[in-house]
């Protein structure tokens, strides 16, 4: 069965510090990988995605993620966090073989302290 694990439910970082949010997946097909962000009371905004090619992908708002096939991971990083980055972050996996239906991780709530 397909699954996505985000092991950190909450993370708190200081403004200006670096950030890494972890995502591991178990999937029976070549996956498409996504990171979405949800601010309180908002819908989901796409940060970045990986389909193929270069395993380091750049997204919006200064985020990047690295796909590591050997570790089944797709961790999200940002070198310097801003207070406005406080939100909930979801990793998701899909594949054409499964109709592009997304399986989401449980989410990681990011708190930024000044």
Partner 1 sequence: SAVISQKPSRDICQRGTSLTIQCQVDSQVTMMFWYRQQPGQSLTLIATANQGSEATYESGFVIDKFPISRPNLTFSTLTVSNMSPEDSSIYLCSVEGAGTASDIADTQYFGPGTRLTVL
H-helix or E-strand containing 77?
A: strand 73-78
Question: CB-wise, 15 or 104, nearer to partner 1?
Answer: 104
Binding-site ranges for partner 1 (CB under 8 A)? 32, 34, 36, 41-46, 49, 51, 90, 94, 96, 99-102, 104-107
The distance of closest approach from Cβ of residue 104 to partner 1 in the complex, given in angstroms and rounded to an integer, is: 5
- Looking at the Cβ atoms of 17 and 106, the one nearer to partner 1 is 106
Hunting for tokens 């389909």 — which residue is that? 51
Contact 65, 74 (CB under 8 A): yes
Shortest Cβ 29–partner 1 spacing (Å): 13
Q: Partners of 8 in the beta sheet?
A: none
109's tokens:
């709530």
- Closest CB 27 distance from partner 1, rounded Å: 15
Least separation in angstroms between residue 56's CB and partner 1 is 16
CA 19 vs CA 11, 14, 16, 28, 94: distances in Å: 9, 9, 9, 29, 25
Choose between 53 and 70: whose C-beta lies nearer to partner 1.
Answer: 53
Q: Which is nearer to partner 1, 80 or 96 (CB)?
A: 96
CB atoms within 10 A of CB 81: 20
């Amino acid at each position: 069965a397909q699954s996505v694990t985000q092991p950190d439910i909450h993370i708190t970082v200081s403004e200006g510090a670096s950030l890494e949010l972890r995502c591991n997946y178990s999937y029976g097909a070549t996956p498409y990988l996504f990171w979405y962000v949800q601010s309180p009371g908002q819908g989901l905004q796409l940060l970045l995605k990986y389909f193929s090619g270069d395993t380091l992908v750049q997204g919006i708002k200064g985020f990047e993620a690295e796909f590591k096939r050997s570790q089944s991971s797709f961790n999200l990083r940002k070198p310097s966090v801003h207070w406005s980055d406080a939100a909930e972050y979801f990793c998701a996996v899909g594949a054409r073989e499964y109709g592009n239906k997304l399986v989401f991780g449980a989410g990681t709530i990011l708190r930024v302290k000044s």
